[in-house]
């Protein structure tokens, strides 16, 4: 499978900063302290949304000393009431062993509960678990099923993910046309990894309705301008080569190798381009 490991390399569940909560907090410390005191009162009264916010405050240390055990306590209260956000954050804590014993199976169970309620990020995270076999048995079909559910909720990482499944035929029949369509949805949200994947598909696809080396160069150039990832330079080199510009392919692959000198794939690609350049003379 071409670069499907990119999905498995993605962090399973990110601890997102609680941006809306910070925006609600007043700028000065006194007002923030009062806000948190009021939030605690509401949380103790059983308000689920307040319990989630309070748990994330302790998790991130926003206005209070970071306290994983206290965060887990409040998130568990909300999770016990089947709040999907609390289940997702608590799952993250079980994965990392923060405030609770590390337990991948318990984390997976919590993510499943949140995903079953339609939480897009949990659907995506669960798909990654099925890809990796963490906390659940590896299952490509289940991974693809949950990735598609998240993608259909317009989550760009999931749109990229289902595109990769479709391109590689992992858990679903291979379909480069549909893969390209999903990549484009993520690209339209400026998701850079999807730019790279789409560029490589356009450059290397055997499907004539998909292959478009000229567009591949443009898309890969955009990805390279947005990120220092040497894989994106490798893709741009492949796009140049597919578009008949062997000289730029060699030059660009050399740039990728300068950043990752030990990468065997880059080395093989460079030899391929150099061989083609010499053969054309």
Report H helices in 117-245.
120-132, 140-151, 156-168, 176-187, 192-204, 213-226, 230-242
pLDDT at 103 over 70: yes
Which of the listed residues 122, 152, 182 is the one where a domain comes to its end? 152
Q: How far is CA 265 from the centre of its chain?
A: 23
Question: Tell me, what's the pLDDT at 28?
Answer: 73
CATH number at residue 60: 1.25.40.10
Same domain (yes/no): 145, 9: yes
Residue 83 maps to a domain: yes
Whether 225 and 280 map to the same domain: the answer is yes
Residue 90 shares a structural domain with residue 25: yes
Span 231-280, pLDDT tens digits = 999 999 999 999 999 999 999 999 999 999 999 999 999 999 999 988 76
Q: Is the pLDDT of residue 14 over 90?
A: no
pLDDT at 277: 87
170 located within any domain: no
Single residue among 152, 179, 201 that ends a domain in this structure: 152
CB 263 within 8 Å of CB 233: no
Q: Considering the domain boundaries, does residue 175 fall inside one?
A: no
**Based on the structure, what is the number of domains in the chain?**
2
Say if 183 falls within a structural domain. no
Which pLDDT band, with edges at 50, 70 and 90, does 30 fall under? confident
Give tens-digit pLDDT for 183-197.
Answer: 999 999 999 999 999
Q: What is the pLDDT of residue 157?
A: 97
Pair (254, 128) in one structural domain: no
pLDDT at 17: 37
Counting every residue written for the chain, the total comes to 281
Say whether pLDDT at 21 is over 50: no
Contact 51, 75 (CB under 8 A): yes
Prediction pTM value: 0.87
Q: Positive or negative, the Cα torsion across 214, 220, 225, 231?
A: negative
Residue 172 lies in a domain: no
User: What pLDDT is stored for residue 18 in this prediction?
Assistant: 39
The residue out of 152, 182, 207 marking a domain boundary is 152
**pLDDT at residue 278, rounded to an integer:** 85
Check whether residue 3 and residue 68 sit in a common domain.
yes
The least confident of 29-38, 49-58, 135-144 is 29-38
Q: What percent of the chain has pLDDT over 90?
A: 85
Kindly state the average pLDDT of the residues 85-101. Answer: 96
Residue 43 binned pLDDT confidence (cut-offs 50, 70, 90): very high
CB 145 within 8 A of CB 128: no
Is residue 165 in a domain? no
> What is the four-CA torsion angle of 188, 145, 52, 25, rounded to 10 degrees?
0
pLDDT at 15 over 80: no
Q: Is 125 a domain residue?
A: yes
User: Which pLDDT belongs to residue 280?
Assistant: 65
**Residue 10 confidence (pLDDT) above 50:** no
The whole domain housing 267 covers 190-281
């Amino acid at each position: 499978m071409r670069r499907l490991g990119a999905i498995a390399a993605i962090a399973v569940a990110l601890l997102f900063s609680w941006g809306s909560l910070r925006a609600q907090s007043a700028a000065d410390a006194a007002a923030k302290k009062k806000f948190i005191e009021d939030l605690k009162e509401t949380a103790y009264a059983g308000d689920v949304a307040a319990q989630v916010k309070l748990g994330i405050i302790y998790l991130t240390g926003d206005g209070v000393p970071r306290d994983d055990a206290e965060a887990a306590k409040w998130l568990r209260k909300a999770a016990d009431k089947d709040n999907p956000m609390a289940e997702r954050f608590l799952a993250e804590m079980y994965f990392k062993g923060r405030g609770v014993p590390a337990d991948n199976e318990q984390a997976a169970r919590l993510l499943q509960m949140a995903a079953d309620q339609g939480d897009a990020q949990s659907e995506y995270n669960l798909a990654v678990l099925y890809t990796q076999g963490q906390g659940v048995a590896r299952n490509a079909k289940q991974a693809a099923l949950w990735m598609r559910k998240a993608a259909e909720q317009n989550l760009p990482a999931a749109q990229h993910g289902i595109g990769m499944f479709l391109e590689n035929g992992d858990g679903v029949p291979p379909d480069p046309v549909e893969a390209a369509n999903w990549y484009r949805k993520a690209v339209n949200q400026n998701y850079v990894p999807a730019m790279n994947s789409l560029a490589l598909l356009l450059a290397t696809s055997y499907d004539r309705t998909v292959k478009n080396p000229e567009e591949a160069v443009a898309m890969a150039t955009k990805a390279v301008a947005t990120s220092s990832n040497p894989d994106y330079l490798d893709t741009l080199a492949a796009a140049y080569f597919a578009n008949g510009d062997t000289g730029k392919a060699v030059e660009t692959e050399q740039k990728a190798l300068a950043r990752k000198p030990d990468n065997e794939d880059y080395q093989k690609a460079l030899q391929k381009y150099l061989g083609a350049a010499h053969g054309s003379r």
